[in-house]
Structure 1
Amino acid sequence: MKYKINIEKVNTVDEVKAYWTNEDYIQLLKRFDYPDAEDSDAESLRELLFMAITDFEPGEAAKLVLDYKLGEELSEGQIEQISNDMLIDTVCEEYPEMELQSRLFHVNQLLFKAYNGKFPSSSATIIHCSITSSNTDSNLNKATVLRLLNDGLSDRNIVKRLFEEQMNGDAEFPEAEYIIWNLETSENNHFKITTSGNLIKKEEVIASEWEKEIEDEDDSDK
């Protein structure tokens, strides 16, 4: 099937505020010993959390936030190690288990904001684009979207280099689920793609419009 891709806008951001909910803030405030967090004004929860966080040493704060978001998947020793490493390196960009990288990014940037830069900063890339085809019922998953983006990316791009066969459709692509952190669709075939700023940099999106043909069977590839 032939697709037409049109890049509307590419942004580099240092946080995705929508990731954190008011309930997240309330639960974290409790972990940071803030009393009656659930009674606080919703508009002030984030600011209150930042004040509560900075009453703790950075490494201890990192452990508390990591345990909240990843405590069911990481051991106490792993959390201890990551909390130390986060103070000197962008762990979220290098962590070997790709399925954890997005959550590590959100944790890292929350701490970066709270401590005004004591933690190294990372970034996310948000791509706004339209993807159209002759089949109006086409249901695009993350693997297909990445393959469609392939021709618009610089050859320097790390995803193209690390996953060449997958991006070309010559191998299954389970990693796509973790390369694209969030894929939103809206009217008029508009897509909002959120990914790591380390995996796809804004300047690596080098085309604004192109066409690409992909076998129909790829549409169901996970």
Structure 2
Amino acid sequence: MNYQITIKRIDTVNEIEGYWTTQDYIALCERFNFPDAATAEPENLPELLQMAISDYEPHEAAAIVLDYKLGAELSQGQIEQIAHNMLIDKVCEEYPEIQMQGRLFHANQLLFKAYNGKFPNAKASIVHFSMAPTQGEAKELTAENVLKLLNKGLSDRNLIKRLFEDQMTQNIPFPNAAAIIWELRTTDAVNFSLITSENWINNEDVILSEFESVLEQIEQED
């Protein structure tokens, strides 16, 4: 099916508003030995958590946050190693398990804010775009569909295109797409916004803001 694509703009942000919920703040405060968070006003919780975090050494705080977000998937040794590396590098952009990069970004930015810049400042991109079929009604698109359709508008220097050339250009499955796109939002199946790392898509990657693209039926591997 043919689609008309328009990339409207890319917003570069330091954090994703609304990612951390009230329950997240309460649970983290408890882990940082601030037990009265449940009785605090919700709007005060981010500041209370920052105060609680600041009583710990940065690598200790990182390990606590990582255990909260990724403890079910990582060993204690892995958490300790990542906690130390986070003070030096943007681990959320380099970690080989792509499905963890989004959560590592949110953890990194929480710590960056709490420690006034002791952690590297990673950034995310919010890409606003439309994808409308040239004929027929709009259908629900997956992260895999969206990345394949965006391919033509992205520079050859784009990291996704360099690492996943076959998946971006051929009608084969692209399982990592759902990990590269942290959130995909639409209210009408035509106008979209996606959230991902600036490392994956940024303003310099866009070479065409309006173009047509073809979405082929993806052949499932045996």
TM tier, smaller: over 0.9
Q: Give the conservation status (yes or no) of the 8 Å contact 1:144–1:218.
A: no
TM-score normalised by L of structure 2: 0.95
Report the equivalent of 1:92. 92
What amino acid sits opposite 2:24 in the alignment? D
CA distance in 2, matches of 1:135, 1:78: 50
CA distance in 2, matches of 1:188, 1:165: 26
Aligned-residue sequence identity (percent) comes to 55
CA distance in 2, matches of 1:89, 1:26: 28
Unpaired segments ≥5 residues, structure 1: none
Report the equivalent of 2:23. 23
Deviation at 1:187, TM superposition (A): 2.9
Shift >4 Å, 4+ stretches: none
Report the equivalent of 2:63. 63
SS at match of 2:173: coil
TM-score normalised by L of structure 1: 0.95
Within 5 Å, give how 1:205-220 maps onto structure 2.
Answer: 205-215=206-216, 217-218=217-218
What amino acid sits opposite 2:167 in the alignment? Q
What amino acid sits opposite 1:36 in the alignment? D
Report the equivalent of 1:5. 5
SS at match of 1:19: coil
Deviation at 1:205, TM superposition (A): 1.6
Q: CA RMSD in A?
A: 1.6
Within 5 Å, give how 1:83-162 maps onto structure 2.
Answer: 83-133=83-133, 134-162=135-163
What amino acid sits opposite 2:170 in the alignment? G
Question: Which deviates more from structure 2 when the two are superposed, residues 94-103 or residues 186-195?
Answer: 186-195
Deviation at 1:7, TM superposition (A): 1.4
Measured at CA, do residues 24 and 59 of structure 1 come closer, stay the same or move farther in structure 2, by a change above 3 Å? same
Deviation at 1:188, TM superposition (A): 6.6
Q: Deviations over 1:54-109 (max 9, x none)?
A: 11110100010000000000000000000000011111111011111100010001
Report the equivalent of 2:199. 198
Q: Give the conservation status (yes or no) of the 8 Å contact 1:141–1:220.
A: no
Question: Which deviates more from structure 2 when the two are superposed, residues 76-85 or residues 137-146?
Answer: 137-146
Q: Give the conservation status (yes or no) of the 8 Å contact 1:141–1:219.
A: no
Measured at CA, do residues 64 and 84 of structure 1 come closer, stay the same or move farther in structure 2, by a change above 3 Å? same
